[in-house]
Structure 1
Amino acid sequence: MRSPKRVTRVVTHKSLPSCPVGLNLENLCERVREYLPSLTMPASRGRKGWCGCLQNAEPPEITYCVVDQAGTLSLQALTPTQPMPAEDELNVKFLELVDELDLTPPNKAAMLSLPSEKKWQIYCSRKKDQEGVTDLSHLPEHYIERVQALAMLQYPTDSEEEVRSRTRQLDGLKTALRTQPHSFVLRFIELDGLVGLLGFLSSMDYTTSQSSIHTSLIGCVKALMNNSNGRAHVLAHPTGINTIAQSLCTENIKTKVAVLEILGAVCLVPGGHKKVLEAMLHYQKFAFERTRFQGIVNDLDRSTGVYRDEVNLKTAIMSFVNAVLNYGPGQENLEFRLHLRYEFLMLGIQPVIDKLRSHENETLNRRKRYFDIFILFQDHIDTKSATAMFDLLRKKLSHTSAYPHLLSLLKHCTLLPLDYGTYPQHWMLFDRIVQQIILQGESGDNPDISPLRINVKEIVHL
């Protein structure tokens, strides 16, 4: 997707160490900002910056970026040394360059509307990058073969050097997916590179899943999803998001953080929110957990013993939780947002969040505050008290035609067997059906898991 030539000096934030960063077509847009301020992506959803894994709203960039205090990379403009061609020829060349940038339609149109002098300046800059010598000259076929070969190998328990070697190979693919031209990514997808990555993720042994090999492999998926075509293919894959979610079953903090960043960003993509909820349900079964999100809340509560790792993990978790609550159907549907928030509250997340203050980390506190601002209307009563909730229902329905149906429902509930054996599943079924009735949209679509294929509106003749 992007040119391999690197710019090695980046002006970083004062609180972060200066580091060399590979920079190519991925950051060519940053270079254009000095000519075109409007090129930055608009926050079309009206919210921005609260979720650490979501840097932009359209499309979400699944990464953390090191930038300067102004929010952009400091680059010097290149003065062309070659004469500018005729306008028609220049437009053809510049269009080929823009196609490689994988921009959204508004940004692509903005690039194409630049003055001819600026187009030629950017084009010459790109060609200058291509003239450099690069170690990213391998074709997609090479990387796919390496991924397939690595997937067949067991973890080398007696050789740390072999672990580092495998990690470096995957890091090479990650860099290529981020810096090579758009055509490289397309070719990688066409040759079933995504299938190879997902196959490796789903088949790795336990020891490999705890190692840096797993972290680098997730990094490859993350880099692929930063490309619009790569993201579309991952979302279209029948088990892609489920396989990514399985990678939460590791003790490697960096791997968990990367997975949570991906899942949080997918919540912004149309149709992605429900895929994330389904993936968490899949992970519940995969990890043999009692409920979905149980592992997320447990990780939020536990201590790793290393302050930086602990803060990074807890920040990523709170960013993910906020993405689940704020995006998808919950963006417009209050009932759905309350439904998901209550699910987290039932897992005991509130006292866990209250403990986060002890870290005295502003970023973490900011994530926590976004969860706190959503106050349930049920918070005026004790939602853990069956008596309090029944009294509320009785007051609301006692003088309505719905009251006899409430009594009938309660009478039939008393006929159910006691809570032993397989009988609790009946109550779980009731719970899920009521949730489906509350959340189902006007057209019969279900934003969350649905135990029955029913159209509530048709059944009750509303």
Structure 2
Amino acid sequence: MGNAGSVDSQQTEFRAHGVPLKLPMPEPGELEERFAVVLNAMNLPPDKARLLRQYDNEKKWELICDQERFQVKNPPHTYIQKLKGYLDPAVTRKKFRRRVQESTQVLRELEISLRTNHIGWVREFLNEENKGLDVLVEYLSFAQYAVTFDFESLENNVENSMDKSKPWSRSIEDLHRGSNLPSPVGSSASRSGRHSTLRYNTLPSRRTLKNSRLVSKKDDVHVCIMCLRAIMNYQYGFNMVMSHPHAVNEIALSLNNKNPRTKALVLELLAAVCLVRGGHEIILSAFDNFKEVCGEKQRFEKLMEHFRNEDNNIDFMVACMQFINIVVHSVEDMNFRVHLQYEFTKLGLDEYLDKLKHTESDKLQVQIQAYLDNVFDVGALLEDAETKNAALERVEELEENISHLSEKLQDTENEAMAKIVELEKQLMQRNKELDVIREIYKDANSQVHTLRKMVKEKEEAIQRQSTLEKKIHELEKQGTIKIQKKGDGDISILPVALASGMVPAGAEAAAGTCVTPVAGAATSVPLPPPPPPLPALAAASEAVQNGPVTVPVPPPPPPPPPPPPPAPPLPGPALDTTPAAPLPPPPPPSAPPLPGTASPTVVFNSGLAAVKIKKPIKTKFRMPVFNWVALKPNQINGTVFNEIDDERILEDLNVDEFEEIFKTKAQGPAIDLTSSKQKITQKGSNKVTLLDANRAKNLAITLRKAGKTADEICKAIHVFDLKTLPVDFVECLMRFLPTENEVKVLRLYERERKPIENLSDEDRFMMQFSKIERLMQKMTIMAFIGNFAESIQMLTPQLHAIIAASVSIKSSQKLKKILEIILALGNYMNSSKRGAVYGFKLQSLDLLLETKSTDRKQTLLHYISNVVKEKYQHVSLFYNELHYVEKAAAVSLENVLLDVKELQRGLDLTKREYTMHDHNTMLKEFIQNNEGKLKKLQDDAKIAQDAFDDAVKYFGENPKTTPPSVFFPVFVRFVKAYKQAEEENELRKKQEQALMEKLMEQEAMMEQQDQKSPSHKTKRQQQELIAELRRRQVKDNRHVYEGKDGAIEDIITALKKNNITKFPNVHSRVRISSSTSVVEDTQS
């Protein structure tokens, strides 16, 4: 540690100059080595050490110099020797006066050394060789002898005050200690044996009292407390102080000091110890000792007296009030807490606090209010408890009402869902009828259009015929032709020229140009062949060209006539102007079939392959249980287990070796199965058992539960009487349907004419049970009838949920708009890299939460929610159009459809049974009452399947690979995430608005204060903003003490900042563990 003489000379030189010497900086390598040594000696946490390593060389050298200046102080034994010298009773009064003049300075230097030197120096001070803590406590005791003795002399007689025969006893909670730390808790004998020589073994002499009075006038007590505080700031020292028999007692007795600053320091230290695990009991024990030493009638009496009398020292009053608050309200036991509270009430604390309620000190007001907030009013608590009991009864009543209302709400919801489904079914039926009517209307409209064209063409043909007749009459008047009527009604047209043998030139020319000449006439170039003429016109033409022709009167055309071809032009200029009738347009093509009219047929193969019943294997030894998860027989169809035969494997294995290896312990030799059967038979000499023992035992238990005789059970089964046999019993009894082997054994016993009375009750029941005709069918029918109503009630809401959810999702226009927005934004994001798409799978909706913004503060769904609220407000509540989606998501439609088919099979089986027993009224009534219900359920199942398939196809999914348990949860998750995004957007906007308002207020204030300093104003705004954001991030204002040395200082600092004022019923304490750490332990 250095030479003492050199230390003194250097110390004197430093004090003389007032400024430390500046030594030259060494080389960088040496500098780093010395800096590393300093860091190790400082015993800093890693984060602080890392911060110091970032210093530049200049700062590192300054730190090295500072530490080395501290290290030139005296070694621990120097201070200990000086303190022992003050305690030497053989020293004369004059010599003591000379020595004690520098006691305060020695203690100050000791306090600085304890606080600033490395942990090794402190350990050396406290080790077994130096016993610095004992010396320091003895000096503290010596320094306040006079004060304590004066108090005792004034209030009590000396004999009573100096009676130290009472044992020191206090309970110290076992602090966590390590192997290298002193035990914080010693035995009562060791603690009582290690007492101070001056205080507890001898009465103070007159010289000692005088010396003590001389010391008490100085600050030695105050500095001693600071030394102990510095020691307690290390975990090693804290454990030593807590385990010392008198250290805490002497600290508490320091409250008798006249200096208010010292008393405030003591109370702060004691309050900090209270908050350490196990410290509260030690503090109370110290005040018990204080009561005995100072002759108090009640504990804390002197403390309350100082609190009342030191009303001019606010710091002491704050420390005192804070200590009272902590010592009373930091207790977990509520009864003990009330007891401590009552102690101070008896000392008049409540009345005095009432006087102080108008104090001007904010710190004192905070501590007073903290105490009042934590006070337990037992009367009020009792009243609250009674009120709470009444409230709990009311809550229980309300919960029962809520339960009933929930049931009613469920029923109402089911009824509403049924009505909605019924309306949806009617709407679907009306839509189908409307489609049919539209097709009929379309066909009828096409036929009407065709008929109108035909009528128009007929009118035109009649008009042309009328025109031709007029022309003929005109020609007759002109003398060109002659019309002759025959007796049968026909008309003959005879050209006048032919009759007279002369043909007019004009007529000849006309005839030569228009008609084909007859034999012997002049030839001319023929025209292209005209379309087939009308009969009347052809006859007229032939009459004109070939002479007399008989033209019959045309009959009326049959309806509807085909469109007539255009008539050929007749001779004469007048006929040339008659236009030809246009061809009718081709008939319109037939309308294409409507999309979606052909739906795929989904075939559910519900048939199960026959399962071979496996017989139980009887082993020679008891075997352990293999806890596997077994498949049910109806679950192995189509699996690998349907293709394997484990019984064949057992034939190839050595099962005896297997049993020997895996048999359970503590078993005798192998069991002979044949001999065991004989023994069992011999034991039950009066009864013969044909069934398996376990099976017979289980059957007996089942029959006892029914409480019916075998005759009653068999008769009820024969007539399907479910009133006599509940359906639960029927289902249990179905497990005991006789196997083929059991029937053979029973029939063999019967054929051998053995007495039935010798059989056990179970065998007799099984014999009678197996004689029922079609037993399996009857039991199945009874189970079906008993469960039918429950099955209908269970399946109907599930189908209704599928129908309502499917139709509402498909018909929601708002949801369609949301998907449109998502598609647009997605294409905008991806089109440059992947190209635009025309749609997306519904599972893509889950990815909206994974696509985050650049600042990672919001997702694409948050953005879409904002867009919808700002641009498409009318679709923001799209989820209100999606009905019963959550219920539909929990439905397995495939299982529901299978259950419906099973119900149909059960009903068919019941009908077949009824045809054999048409006299059974129970079956008849069941079929009549429930056939319609099943038909309605089947219709609902068909509608649900169709509606779901349409909805799934509508969103581009495959109904075969997308069941309701996959389809609907997509929308459930999307709606939930969308609502949460809306809430988060609203919260973010409110926070931003509040922050903006605050920033605007601060900006206005800063503009008034710093108009000439814009850069300073900007910096202040940034600082305020950062501080505000940090405050928002802090959720728990309670300080957490990290695992390190320095816990006491941290607690005292927090106490001074008023960070510890509230004490809930379950509070937190600082635990000093055995390792070099201080952690906070929260008890719950």
The TM-score normalised by the length of structure 2 is: 0.25
Q: Which residue of 2 aligns with 1:263?
A: 270
- Report deviation, 1:291: 1.8
Of 121, 136, 142, 1:203 maps to 142
- Report deviation, 1:335: 3.6
Deviations 1:180-200 (A, max 9, x none): 222221111111111101112
CA distance in 1, matches of 2:142, 2:241: 18
CA contact (8 A) 1:102 1:227 kept: no
Structure 1 residues 139-154: aligned runs within 5 Å: 139-152=75-88
Question: Equivalent residue of 2:102, what SS?
Answer: helix
Question: Equivalent residue of 2:47, what SS?
Answer: helix
Deviations 1:106-159 (A, max 9, x none): xx2434555964597875443132355x69521111100111111236897999
1:225 alignment partner AA: M
2:103 alignment partner AA: R
Distance 1:218 1:152, change over 3 A: farther
Residue 182 in structure 1 maps to residue 123 in structure 2: no
Residue 366 in structure 1 maps to residue 303 in structure 2: no
Distance 1:98 1:247, change over 3 A: same
CA contact (8 A) 1:98 1:111 kept: no
- Report deviation, 1:166: 2.3
- Report deviation, 1:229: 2.3
CA distance in 1, matches of 2:136, 2:299: 25
Of 132, 153, 159, 1:193 maps to 132
Residue 318 in structure 1 maps to residue 325 in structure 2: no
CA contact (8 A) 1:322 1:370 kept: yes
Question: Equivalent residue of 1:291, what SS?
Answer: coil
- Report deviation, 1:85: 5.5
CA distance in 1, matches of 2:294, 2:85: 27
Residue 130 in structure 1 maps to residue 58 in structure 2: no
Q: Which residue of 1 aligns with 2:233?
A: 226
CA distance in 2, matches of 1:321, 1:155: 43
CA distance in 2, matches of 1:227, 1:324: 23
- Report deviation, 1:288: 0.8
1:248 alignment partner AA: L
- Report deviation, 1:360: 1.6
Structure 1 residues 34-433: aligned runs within 5 Å: 96-103=37-44, 108-111=45-48, 117-118=54-55, 124-130=61-67, 132=69, 137-152=73-88, 164-190=101-127, 191-204=130-143, 205-206=145-146, 207-208=213-214, 210-212=216-218, 213-303=220-310, 307=312, 310-327=313-330, 330=331, 332-357=332-357, 359-380=359-380
Q: CA RMSD in A?
A: 4.3
CA distance in 2, matches of 1:157, 1:211: 17
Q: Which residue of 1 aligns with 2:616?
A: none
- Report deviation, 1:290: 1.3
CA distance in 2, matches of 1:359, 1:209: 36
Q: Alignment identity in percent?
A: 27
CA distance in 1, matches of 2:354, 2:135: 42
Question: Equivalent residue of 1:247, what SS?
Answer: helix
Distance 1:256 1:303, change over 3 A: closer
CA distance in 2, matches of 1:162, 1:282: 32
Please identify, of 266-275 and 114-123, the stretch whose mean Cα deviation from structure 2 is larger. 114-123
CA contact (8 A) 2:310 2:317 kept: no
CA distance in 1, matches of 2:68, 2:228: 29
CA distance in 2, matches of 1:285, 1:371: 27
Question: Equivalent residue of 2:287, what SS?
Answer: helix
Q: Which residue of 1 aligns with 2:467?
A: none
- Report deviation, 1:83: 7.2
Any unmatched runs of 5+ in structure 2? 1-9, 12-23, 147-212, 386-1084
CA contact (8 A) 1:140 1:188 kept: yes
Deviations 1:41-81 (A, max 9, x none): xxxxxxxxxxxxxxxxxxxxxxxxxxxxxxxxxxxxxxx97
CA distance in 1, matches of 2:299, 2:92: 30
Q: Which residue of 2 aligns with 1:65?
A: none
CA contact (8 A) 2:35 2:64 kept: no
Distance 1:119 1:99, change over 3 A: farther
2:135 alignment partner AA: G
- Report deviation, 1:225: 2.0
- Report deviation, 1:234: 0.7
CA distance in 2, matches of 1:209, 1:380: 51
2:354 alignment partner AA: D
Question: Equivalent residue of 1:373, what SS?
Answer: helix
Distance 1:352 1:100, change over 3 A: farther
Q: Which residue of 2 aligns with 1:431?
A: none
CA distance in 2, matches of 1:181, 1:203: 29
CA distance in 1, matches of 2:359, 2:216: 26
2:79 alignment partner AA: Y
CA contact (8 A) 1:136 1:176 kept: no
Query: Looking at both structures, which has the greater relative contact order when contacts are Cα pairs under 8 Å and sequence separation is at least 6?
Result: 1
CA contact (8 A) 1:253 1:313 kept: yes
Question: Equivalent residue of 2:295, what SS?
Answer: coil
Distance 1:120 1:192, change over 3 A: farther
CA contact (8 A) 2:257 2:263 kept: yes
2:362 alignment partner AA: E
1:316 alignment partner AA: A
CA contact (8 A) 1:156 1:162 kept: no
1:101 alignment partner AA: M
Distance 1:392 1:333, change over 3 A: closer
Deviations 1:415-453 (A, max 9, x none): xxxxxxxxxxxxxxxxxxxxxxxxxxxxxxxxxxxxxxx
CA distance in 1, matches of 2:377, 2:92: 52
CA distance in 2, matches of 1:138, 1:192: 16
Any unmatched runs of 5+ in structure 1? 7-79, 382-388, 394-462
Higher helix proportion: 2
CA contact (8 A) 2:329 2:374 kept: no
Deviations 1:274-311 (A, max 9, x none): 1111111111111110121111111111246xx3xx22
The TM-score normalised by the length of structure 1 is: 0.55
CA contact (8 A) 2:71 2:117 kept: no
Distance 1:81 1:217, change over 3 A: closer
Q: Which residue of 2 aligns with 1:427?
A: none
CA contact (8 A) 2:317 2:364 kept: yes
Distance 1:216 1:292, change over 3 A: same
1:143 alignment partner AA: Y
